[in-house]
Amino acid sequence: MAKLGINIDHVATIRQARMGIEPDPVFAAGIAEQNGADQITIHLREDRRHILDRDVKILRKTIQTKMNLEMASTDEMMKIASDIKPDTVTLVPEKREELTTEGGLLLTNAHLSVIRKLKQAGIEVSVFIEPDLKMISKAKEMGADAVEIHTGKYANLKDESEISQEVEVIRKAAHFIKKLGMRVVAGHGLNYFNTQRLVELGIIEEFNIGHSIISKAVFSGLATAVSNMKTIVE
Ligand code: PXP
């Protein structure tokens, strides 16, 4: 059975809109875990636009499942990862101007020492890359333990035949990752309509999903939230 990692960055994004204390992603992590999450995924960005250093520190103490820290391969993030020791570090590309992580990481020789150092610190290393066989081979050569396939392209397609083609690309990539002995992970843009098809491939071991779950949570909670406030106002 595939595992589900919940990305709680989106809760922190709402908090940061007011730079206040609510909603607290630490609470979100607890609720996610109580309802079946196998892992909590957070991305500490250089610009701290959502998850803050304080969240990372508290979550390390409160997460009862697994902590997956997404980060860029910078000296600052390497220091934080070696202090915090998440269960997994997922190396992602990061651009200041992007709204979210656009496109997979292009692995270069510079990643070799980053991966080695993280592994020496006892941290599992996953790399967030496109479903590209050459890049997957490179991930293996560099010592990655897992590959997270960037499913953004698949998620954005509308044409049925293009979707089928992309599913085939993901299927082949997933089998190649497994053949090379790495863990097969997928994420980005997955929602209540497009996830099932990838689950049915039966090869992806873990999904990391955030935006669609937090979006759904807004609507499943809105009626109660309004009615609670109505009681106060009356
Ligand atoms: N996996 C990785 C590596 C990501 O960067 C993201 C986006 O933060 C996700 C999964 C989750 O994507 P989404 O929020 O679109 O579900």
Catalytic residue status for 175? no
Residue 72 Cβ < 6 Å to ligand 1: no
pLDDT of 95 > 80? The answer is no
- In this prediction, residue 214 carries a pLDDT of 98
> Within 13 A of 167's CA, how many CA atoms are on the CB side?
17
In this prediction, residue 156 has a pLDDT band, given cuts at 50, 70 and 90, of very high
Q: Is the pLDDT of residue 213 over 90?
A: yes
Which string of b and e fits 174-201 if b means at least 16 CB within 10 Å? Answer: bebbeeeebbbbbbbbbeeebbeebeeb
206 lines ligand 1 (CB under 6 A): no
Predicted local distance difference test score (pLDDT) of residue 124: 98
pTM over 0.95: yes
pLDDT tier, 103 (very low <50, low <70, confident <90, very high otherwise): confident
The mean predicted confidence, pLDDT, of the chain is: 97
**Which three-class secondary structure state does DSSP give residue 187?**
strand
pLDDT digits (tens, 9 = 90+) for 104-132: 999 999 999 999 999 999 999 999 999 99
Give the per-residue pLDDT at 142: 97
The single residue listed with the structure tokens 């998440």 is: 86
What residues contact residue 183 under an 8 Å CB cut-off, 6+ apart?
126, 145, 146, 147, 177, 205, 206
pLDDT at residue 19, as a whole number: 97
How confident is residue 77, by pLDDT bands cut at 50, 70 and 90? very high
Residue range 128-150, pLDDT digits in tens: 999 999 999 999 999 999 999 99
Report CA(70)–ligand 1 centroid distance (Å).
9
Mean pLDDT of 195-214: 98
Distance CA 161, CA 165 (A): 6
Closest CA to 215 of 183, 191, 181: 191
pLDDT band for position 99 (cuts 50, 70, 90): confident
The helix/strand/coil state of 138 is: helix
pLDDT digits 0-9 by tens, 6-22: 999 999 999 999 999 99
Decide whether any atom of ligand 1 lies within 6 Å of the 9 Cβ. Answer: yes
**Which residue CA neighbors atom 3 of ligand 1 most closely?**
128
Total length of the chain: 234
What pLDDT is stored for residue 100 in this prediction?
A: 72
Residue ranges of domains in the chain, CATH in brackets: 3-233 (3.20.20.70)
Phi/psi for 141 (5° steps) reads -55, -35
- CA 178 – CA 20 distance, rounded (Å): 43
Which residue has a Cα nearest atom 7 of ligand 1? Answer: 188
Measured between alpha carbons, how far is residue 125 from residues 70, 79, 82, 87, 154 in Å? Answer: 10, 15, 12, 9, 24
CA–CA dist 159, 176 (Å, integer): 26
Euclidean distance between CA atoms 167 and 162, whole angstroms: 9
